[in-house]
Structure 1
């Protein structure tokens, strides 16, 4: 449960996605460029450098899945089916108002979904390497440059390296603020609930006025710190929980309350959108902006990568930093890469860190 007297602050962030529906319609009517994306591997800096708005697309509800299953197989990840279902039923305003979809080959299911999605919306596929080495870095740097060229051609604009450098600085500021926010969970007692942590990290992508979004995030952090330090707080003995695994935006609304009602505190997430994709900044001093972006993005420890040591390294750091008592590894049904990798995560967490571990497979029902 939230331990601070700031519920209205978190409610405001919870409303961001709903309010974003109206905002994106207004921005579209004003002639703004809008690019939709599904994954943290998407180099948002290139979208920003194009003078476009980057928006995360819908894929968290079970409602459109029956429509998706008319084309996609039932034994497919619910995130993919939900994403495609929203697209074909026009139930995602963000998809509807996007000019182009930035797509990435993180898994086979997504690859085939994007083939279908390209029939209804311009879709640019970025070919993600499945191993992080020098060859992979060169491939991804080339794909980022190719994405830049696609946006230039699509919008009939020129994107300069100075534009990209400004966007890198902008996104680095956002990443630094998010990490400062996440690190508040290391306090004991934690100053916010796991639901509130996830609410803010997820809703950030639906605040399209970037200077205002960063200012509001700065204010939220400062308010939490001020409130936390305003009284002496007794340390909690509730188990401190780390959530890891698949993208879980649709499932967390049933999982987080169950954990917290059972007496645990979710203090950090090692999922898409959390420290996994925000802990490392893009090198602003590297003159090769494409290589700098590739290097930073390929530090994301996603299970789609072979020999995914980066995820182990991050879990090692987070378990120590947040004084974790238990790790819950959540895999969406048919998310094969995360499900297979769960065995390695269990071995590391239990044998090397001596921490309790639970593997949980679920869908959006």
Structure 2
């Protein structure tokens, strides 16, 4: 039997490694190593890694900086955009501060206009992302855009990104994504050996670790220990918990209130379809030309900004079956119009394919509607 202290020891190690990584990042900056901030899953971090730069995830997931952002941005804007911009206004995010360049992309109108204002604080490059995934018509332009991005990173770092360097970076990040998938796939077990909120915290924290090899080793160790039951004891009560898949917008530490409410209501979020979850569980083909492979894989990301967005429905169909879920909660941030509109099609698809109704929740990062959400979640779980 695993030691009851194993889980807390691993989480303490993760906390310690996170603190040490921040210090290491600060030293790397003093040593002249560049860092590049990324806001979206569509931007290939492999190009930064291939040039020896440190990739840093920057999406805002906390409510704290939103008030400052609203002195410039409209209040009726997506909280993810406001939180992200708020960190720049308040200079309260060390990762934003350490970034030498910010990479955005033309996913939604709110982000595009926010990036214009963000350029007042940092150099910003915006990738021109196609709005559909018809590879015959848009892939050549997207491939050229990634070539432009590669040239920009080479100029920033002074490093030529050779084929060999790029293949090595792809292999490294493939292995990291595989290790993350090992942890996310634990949710296929019944009962799930890892609570959804804890899994979310782990995925969030490891995103900021600069040493990818150590990150991979730690993820593998966590997955192995969780599979042994170190993070959760199995009981008859656990077996009765409803199994929920969360789809829709990304969530992170600070914006996970819906996940916590589901758990408090006696169910488990066993799968995350969003881009903070399973959408990042892909592998890039190492047999192809690396730039072609990057362009094809990143363009295929099944986000609601794509029209049509067939990939999301295919992924949902696969995950609902593989994770044996009882229900689906579709989460939309307020003013996220693409996910809000697509919610109708998602519900219709899941009803037709699985005979299961979804619960669509529209909210922001604040806690003011927590009890309203709790009532709706309780009613949904009872219906299941």
Query: With structure 2 as the length reference, what TM-score do the two structures score?
Result: 0.89
1:300-321 deviations in Å (ceiling 9; x for gaps): 1100000101000000000000
Give the whole-Å Cα distance in 1 for the aligned partners of 2:5 and 2:239. 14
CA distance in 1, matches of 2:120, 2:182: 41
Shift, 1:154, TM fit: 2.0
Equivalent pair of 1:10/1:199 in contact (CA under 8 Å): no
Q: Once the 2 structures are TM-superposed, how far is the Cα of residue 295 of structure 1 from its aligned partner?
A: 1.0
The equivalent position to 1:243 in structure 2, one of 243, 246, 252, is: 246
Give the match for residue 94 of structure 1: 95
Give the drift of 1:262.
0.7
* SS of residue paired to 1:206: coil
Q: Determine helix, strand or coil for the equivalent of 1:25.
A: helix
**Counterpart of 1:138?**
140
| Larger mean Cα displacement after TM superposition, 58-67 or 104-113 | 58-67
Tell me the equivalent position of 1:84. 85
Which whole-Å CA distance do the structure 1 matches of 2:86 and 2:243 have between them? 36
Q: 1:191 to 1:80 in 2, by over 3 A?
A: same
Distance 1:91 1:168 in 2: 31
2:373 is matched with none
Report the Cα offset of residue 5 of structure 1. Answer: 6.4
8 Å CA contact retained: 1:9, 1:220: yes
12-21 vs 298-307, which deviates more? 12-21
- Structure 1 partner of 2:341: 340
Question: 1:362, 1:154 → 2: CA distance?
Answer: 39
Bigger mean CA offset, 139-148 vs 42-51: 139-148
Could you list the per-position Cα deviations for residues 192-222 of structure 1 after superposition, in whole angstroms to 9, with x for gaps in the alignment?
Answer: 1011111122222111111100011111112
- 2-side partners of 1:5 and 1:229: how far apart? 8
**1:294 is paired with a residue of what secondary structure?**
helix
Matches within 5 A, 1:321-336: 321-336=322-337
Distance 1:260 1:297 in 2: 32
> Taking structure 1 as reference, are residues 10 and 228 closer, same or farther at Cα in structure 2, changes over 3 Å only?
closer
Distance 2:327 2:57 in 1: 30
Is 2:167–2:290's contact at 8 Å kept on the other side of the alignment?
Answer: yes
Answer yes or no: is the 8 Å Cα contact 2:35–2:101 preserved in 1: yes
Question: Given that residues 101 and 123 in structure 2 are in contact (C-alpha distance below 8 angstroms), is that contact kept between their aligned partners in structure 1?
Answer: yes
Query: Aligned residue for 2:104?
Result: 103
Deviations 1:9-31 (A, max 9, x none): 24544666565443322221222
CA distance in 1, matches of 2:59, 2:359: 28
Q: Which runs of 4+ in 1 moved over 4 A?
A: 14-20, 228-235
The aligned counterpart of 1:185 is 187
Unaligned 5+ segments in structure 2 are: 367-384
CA distance in 1, matches of 2:96, 2:144: 26
RMSD, aligned CA: 2.2
TM-score when normalising by structure 1: 0.93
Q: Give unmatched runs, 5+ long, in structure 1.
A: none
Partner of 2:66: 65
Contact map agreement 1:188 1:236 (CA 8 A) in 2: yes
2:278 is aligned, of 271, 275, 280, to 275
Whether the 8 Å contact between 2:7 and 2:231 is mirrored in structure 1 is no
8 Å contact from structure 1 (residues 177, 217) kept in 2: yes
CA distance in 1, matches of 2:356, 2:86: 39
Distance 2:363 2:17 in 1: 26
2:225 to 220, 223, 226: 223
Q: Is the 8 A contact 1:251 1:363 kept in 2?
A: no
Report whether the alignment pairs 1:39 with 2:40.
yes
Within 5 Å, give how 1:193-232 maps onto structure 2. 193-227=195-229
Aligned partners of 2:171 and 2:142: how far apart in 1?
A: 20
